[in-house]
Structure 1
Amino acid sequence: MVLANDEYSIWRTAPDASRLCYQHFCWRELYQSNVHPSIDLTNRPNLRIAELATGHCLWAIQVAEEYPHAQVEASDISLGLIPPKPDLPSNLSVRQWSFFDRVPEEWKEAFDLLHVRLVCQPFGGNQDPRPVLEKFVSMLKPGGYLQWDEYDYHEADKNNVYSANDPDIIPHPEITHNSSTKIWKLIMKTFQWPTEHFYRLAEYFTAAGLTDVAAHTRRPPPSVFRAFYEHWYALIAQLLPVLESKDIEVGQEARRLLLQMKKNALVDGDYSAHITKFVVGRKPTASGKGKYEDSQMEAASEV
């Protein structure tokens, strides 16, 4: 199910804008940076940065402020959540574009850094993201970086539940505190999001010709795990009407599980905390086209 016609599962409304901004600040607090620390953008003349599927544009706005000498460009299939142009930094431009479309000629080998975050959803129907990844690589200058941020969907909730009353991680949460895990599985199955493909992103980076590839993973610490949990709760609440429109029984089960999630948090003080993952790779200075051959995945863990 390609969402090229902007068949977005979550409506672009004020609550969604608020949730996305909240999510951005959670990620920003976790990493204390918008650009992953492994990426070196110093001593680059005519620095050019792009964010695709920018949503509310907050990452691009902050990066434009952090790199005032850079040209920053943001794009999305819809510009409905982006602030008015007078409110944007002078070195930031926006345009409407879907990464399922052909790459504009002026964007080929144009960027020192290309950023994309949380785009599993548009690949519904278990689509393979590698053709889109090839487009991203084609947009990088030789020596340019690709930073792709996702949750570690493949290991969602596995051994990553915290208790407010106990600093230790709860053992076997998939058995004892599994309402969040069950909802996640319902969502994955209903929308057919390709979690297996996204688990292998670092491997795909290498196959596409990128070097210095690493999957930097981090579990939210106790200081922010409740914030991540509350965002997850809000996301599920927004998805409920969509789930019910696709399968009424699935939607009703999700509502029951959401109430259990609330009880787990308010009564038991237990919160699930999804692992975050920054996959980073660099285009060789002697540029070459990537293929889909098998390759080794180099993973760097910060958990």
Structure 2
Amino acid sequence: MASKTDYVFPRDFIDNTRINLMHHIWTKIFGYNIHPKIPSEAANLRIADVGTGTGIWLFDVRDKLNQAQLDGFDISFDAAPPSETLPPQVAFRHWDVKSDVPEDLVGVYDIINVRHFGFVLLNDDIPSVVAKLISLLKPGGYLQWGEADMETLRFDITKPGNKTDNLVELFKLLAVQDDRLKPTWVRHLPEIFAKAGFVDVEKDMQDALPHLAFIFHEAGLMIHDLIARKTKNEHMARELRRLIPAAAEETKQGAYGTSLRVTVIGRKP
């Protein structure tokens, strides 16, 4: 996880709402919060959500697994609800996934979930992060990791003549300004899992139905506006403010960006 000072998003109520909305669309696209091949019926499971953000994944999991202990890890909980509002099974704890694993967490978890680190970690960070995550798991425990594969980004249109020029330029702008915004490691996650020692590695790849892809795209447009407000790069902020209204108009006319989305799972022997 990026530090509080260099995290690309503002962790305000608008950003938090975006996170929650995109979580629910993601769940509709895949049809599950926990991959159906991951055993989750046992009593007293210990489950962790790393990079938990608003905690929304944990809250959804709790609805079905109300006997599990659910722990959310992040470097900041500015995006999370007040601790006084949390269900009794849910606990939050500070941990930066780039730092050493606390000794009391080694071999503790049955299931670990990670999602949307594509705008947080650099390509070279991923193998060491996966190595840390496997150390958190019990033998037989599972890691589940979900990401959008931005290398498959495309722009779909709903009718001939729809323009996408501003949308294309908007997405390109972010990719050239920050290496975290053009992840190339997503398609290699299965091999990275295997090298870290995971077995029974599987990849679930989904191309969202058009109506879900469009809604996800609209939610994603908020990312550009949020970065425009947070970035210290004046040129980038100026260009984002120029492009966002034009890209929003192209969206209104029926153009949208989408990509393949993947969930990779692996079991610790």
- Whether TM exceeds 0.5 here: the answer is yes
Of 62, 78, 93, 2:91 maps to 93
Superposition pairs for residues 126-137 of structure 1, below 5 Å? 126-137=123-134
Structure 1 match to 2:135: 138
8 Å Cα contact 2:170-2:247 kept in structure 1: no
Task: Give the Cα separation in 2 of the matches to 1:181 and 1:219.
Answer: 19
CA-CA distance at 1:272 after TM superposition: 1.9
Structure 1 match to 2:149: 152
Which one-letter code corresponds to 2:68 in the other structure?
A
Task: Give the Cα separation in 2 of the matches to 1:59 and 1:271.
Answer: 26
Quick check: 1:280 aligned with 2:265?
yes
CA-CA distance at 1:263 after TM superposition: 2.3
Cα distance per residue 1:209-253 (max 9 Å; x no partner): 11121221112212322211111111111112345x3251x4433
> Please, what TM-score do these two structures have when normalized by structure 2?
0.90
Which one-letter code corresponds to 2:190 in the other structure?
A
- Provide the aligned C-alpha RMSD in A: 2.3
8 Å Cα contact 1:147-1:281 kept in structure 2: yes
CA-CA distance at 1:28 after TM superposition: 1.9
Structure 1 match to 2:115: 117
Alpha-carbon spacing, 1:254–1:84, altered in 2? closer, same or farther (3 Å): closer
8 Å Cα contact 1:52-1:76 kept in structure 2: yes
Alpha-carbon spacing, 1:241–1:80, altered in 2? closer, same or farther (3 Å): closer
Task: Give the Cα separation in 1 of the matches to 2:177 and 2:83.
Answer: 37
Gaps of 5+ in 1: 285-303
CA-CA distance at 1:145 after TM superposition: 0.7
CA-CA distance at 1:29 after TM superposition: 2.0
Structure 2 match to 1:67: 65
CA-CA distance at 1:73 after TM superposition: 0.7
Q: Determine helix, strand or coil for the equivalent of 2:184.
A: helix
8 Å Cα contact 1:109-1:138 kept in structure 2: yes
Structure 1 match to 2:105: 107
Task: Give the Cα separation in 2 of the matches to 1:200 and 1:67.
Answer: 31
Structure 2 match to 1:202: 190
Structure 2 match to 1:52: 50
Alpha-carbon spacing, 1:209–1:63, altered in 2? closer, same or farther (3 Å): same
Superposition pairs for residues 154-303 of structure 1, below 5 Å? 154-157=151-154, 161-163=156-158, 165=159, 177-193=164-180, 195-243=183-231, 245-248=232-235, 250-267=236-253, 269-284=254-269
CA-CA distance at 1:199 after TM superposition: 2.7
Q: Determine helix, strand or coil for the equivalent of 2:185.
A: helix
Higher mean displacement: 270-279 or 146-155: 270-279
Alpha-carbon spacing, 1:256–1:84, altered in 2? closer, same or farther (3 Å): closer
Alpha-carbon spacing, 1:66–1:162, altered in 2? closer, same or farther (3 Å): farther
Which one-letter code corresponds to 1:161 in the other structure?
D
CA-CA distance at 1:6 after TM superposition: 4.4
Higher mean displacement: 210-219 or 256-265: 256-265
Cα distance per residue 1:184-207 (max 9 Å; x no partner): 232122111261223311110111
8 Å Cα contact 1:162-1:222 kept in structure 2: no
Gaps of 5+ in 2: none
CA-CA distance at 1:9 after TM superposition: 1.2
CA-CA distance at 1:17 after TM superposition: 1.1
Alpha-carbon spacing, 1:247–1:214, altered in 2? closer, same or farther (3 Å): farther
Alpha-carbon spacing, 1:224–1:103, altered in 2? closer, same or farther (3 Å): same
Q: Determine helix, strand or coil for the equivalent of 1:189.
A: helix
Structure 2 match to 1:291: none
Task: Give the Cα separation in 2 of the matches to 1:206 and 1:271.
Answer: 35
Which one-letter code corresponds to 1:264 in the other structure?
E
CA-CA distance at 1:137 after TM superposition: 0.8
| Identity percentage of aligned residues | 28
Which one-letter code corresponds to 2:203 in the other structure?
A
The number of residue pairs the alignment matches comes to 268
Structure 2 match to 1:29: 28
8 Å Cα contact 1:162-1:271 kept in structure 2: yes
> Please, what TM-score do these two structures have when normalized by structure 1?
0.81
